[in-house]
Amino acid sequence: MSKAQETVLEIDFSALTHNFNYLKSKLQPDTKFLAVVKAFAYGSDSVAVAKHLETLNVDYFAVAYTNEGVALRDAGITTPIIVLHTQPVNFKTLIERCLEPSIYNANVLTEFIKTAETLSQKNYPIHIKFNTGLNRLGFKENDIDTIVSKLKNTNSIIAKSLLSHLAASEDANELDFSNLQINRFRAIAEKFKDQIGYKPWLHLCNTSGILNYPEAHFDMVRSGIGLYGFGNSDKEDKNLKPIASLKSVISQIHNIEKDETVGYNRAYISKGFERTATIPIGHADGISRIYGNEKGYVIINGKKAYIIGNVCMDMIMVNVTNIDCKEGDEVVIFDSTNVASTIAESAGTISYEILTAISQRIKRVFKP
């Protein structure tokens, strides 16, 4: 691609294809693949990413909230979509747009049955989430009797799948706990199947689960961060390609004298004669204030330029005293070489946070 002339987020579809194919290569041929495209496809572009994944014959999508699923339907996405955090206020819309709810407690189940019956649904697919140790959302094993009773008393819905979520599948030190979760899920699934009289699909593995626990792939796997180029380990990161590159430009260069200050609250004081560059991206774009005061950096002409002073709403200032650069030069916040996870680590956070924080006001550019 040509050099950036403004702040842009470049999305590389060839990298997305590579990641999808790599993760698929870890599965048995009949194991289904669910792509997680919540949070604007981890800060990229959910519609564009979903459309590309449809060309690769992905089996399912997942979003967090109903409005995210509606946006995909409005864009013409026809692949089945699970809404992971359904809320009763959105049930009518969810059904009208052919979205499938993840049901995680008795109240949500009762309310969804009411809505499905009101709308004259028959065997509407739902996905029942069990809590096996993450302690975020989900039924417990001792809720199975209640769930099955409610399902048998209506023909409006059917359990298409059972799911749970691994808490620490990327952490080798948590092998015992992950195996405990896997075994709990197996027991739940067996008990549920025996009581309901049919076998729903089972899915448990996230990206790290796909890579580390092949025995737990079951009928379907769910991948989010892996599709976007991160495997939650140095080893697997080498097998994946980050799909997003965040770039900008130098708007202005300042020469400042010793003891001059930079930015709000005069947070940076020059130690001598220095050069600073101002770049049009700030905390309104997803570059949090935690990256300020020389914790975070950008890349200019192959060299690190540390952010000085406080991050502004629409701008950052960086130290370019020892960098040969000029106004209009390209600035890389992260790309496939200077990856988001490394930038995130410099401020004590993770790739998920910096990726999903990228503002929708930043222009998206797509690379085939």
- pLDDT tens figures, 249-262: 999 999 999 999 99
Residue with tokens 């989900």: 138
Worst-scoring range by mean pLDDT, 24-28, 100-104, 192-196, 340-344? 340-344
Domain with CATH 3.20.20.10 in the chain: 31-228
214 contacts 167 by C-beta, under 8 angstroms: no
64 contacts 85 by C-beta, under 8 angstroms: yes
User: pLDDT of 99-147, one tens digit each?
Assistant: 999 999 999 999 999 999 999 999 999 999 999 999 999 999 999 999 9
Q: How far apart are CA 87 and CA 76, in angstroms?
A: 24
**Which residues, in sequence order, are CB contacts of 141 under 8 Å at separation 6+?**
130, 184, 187, 188, 191
Q: How far apart are CA 117 and CA 92, in angstroms?
A: 11
Residue 1: pLDDT band (50, 70, 90) is low
User: pLDDT of 281-298, one tens digit each?
Assistant: 999 999 999 999 999 999
pLDDT cut 90: percent of the chain above it: 97
Q: How far apart are CA 272 and CA 275, in angstroms?
A: 10
Distances from the Cα of 165 to the Cα of 101, 125, 129, 134, 307, angstroms: 16, 20, 9, 7, 37
Q: Which residues are catalytic?
A: 38, 264
User: pLDDT of 261-271, one tens digit each?
Assistant: 999 999 999 99
pLDDT at 312 over 70: yes
Domain with CATH 2.40.37.10 in the chain: 244-367
Domain covering 244-367: architecture: Beta Barrel (2.40)
Q: Could you say which of 3.30.70.20, 2.60.120.1440, 3.20.20.10, 3.30.43.10 is the CATH number of the domain covering 31-228?
A: 3.20.20.10
pLDDT for 346: 85
